[in-house]
Amino acid sequence: MTAALLLASVLSQAYYTPAEAQAVFGQANDAYYKEDYAAAQQGFQKLLDHGYGGSDVLYNLGTLYLAKGRLGEAVLYLERARRAGRAADVEGNLAMAKAKQLDQVVGAAAEEPFLQRVVAATSEPFFSWAFLVLWVGAFAGFGLFLVLRPGRRGWALAAGALALFAALGAGSVSAVHYTVATTVTEAVVLAPELKAREFPKDSGKVSFEVHAGLKVRLLETAGPFVRIRLPNGLEGWTEKDGVAAL
């Protein structure tokens, strides 16, 4: 009883200290293991609401929703955990969630644009750090060229130029990641069932249906409707409230 009152008191605060946040996290975990999913969900959600949305919180919330059979929310938070840097167990839980989905999209996958293929094949943190290191190395090489005596500084110029050239390449890849992140929006279907129509009106002819847990791409918005694209390239308009952006 005392622990429950303490948790309720902390949850009601507008601001958590790191120690309080850790206490809420621990209490929510304990509730999850006791299968008190309502209390666990409340704790994890409060952490998100108070700005403590780390990868572990997102992962635990996604795992909780998976245990409850709410596939839309499970995929949403597990995908967010993966984007936040969580590696352990995310792929396995996502695979379990996707195996339970009603939508097993058929048809040839639409070919991704070039920039999206670059993002899928490269690591943004690696190329960001590579750009920084190479950029510093390039200026170090040019600096040595200026201070070394003639006849002994040719290698410094060559090393600086090579580092600068490589830094520009790494910077270009980082720029591609930034461009895609700010222009391409993916989302997860939360509603148990959504009808996709030919145009953004309730009177529009239904082209297909999607169900909770399916990951889609958001293309444009028109009032309460959003145009989505499936992994196989199929497009349609559906209710905006039925999906959540990653």
pLDDT digits (tens, 9 = 90+) for 74-132: 999 999 998 887 777 898 999 999 889 887 765 555 556 777 778 878 888 899 999 99
Structure-token pair, residue 50: 């108070």
Other CB atoms within a 10 A radius of the CB of residue 87 amount to: 10
Class for domain 2-99, per CATH? mainly alpha
Class for domain 185-245, per CATH? mainly beta
Give the whole-angstrom CA distance, residue 205 versus residue 91: 36
Q: What is the mean pLDDT of residues 224-240?
A: 92
Give the whole-angstrom CA distance, residue 73 versus residue 87: 19
187: three-class secondary structure by DSSP: strand
pLDDT at 5: 47
pLDDT at 194: 93
For the stretch 161-191, pLDDT in tens is 999 999 999 999 999 888 887 777 899 999 9
| pTM, full prediction | 0.72
Give the whole-angstrom CA distance, residue 201 versus residue 220: 14
Lowest mean pLDDT among 18-22, 87-91, 212-216: 87-91
Q: Find out whether 232 and 110 touch, Cβ atoms under 8 Å.
A: yes
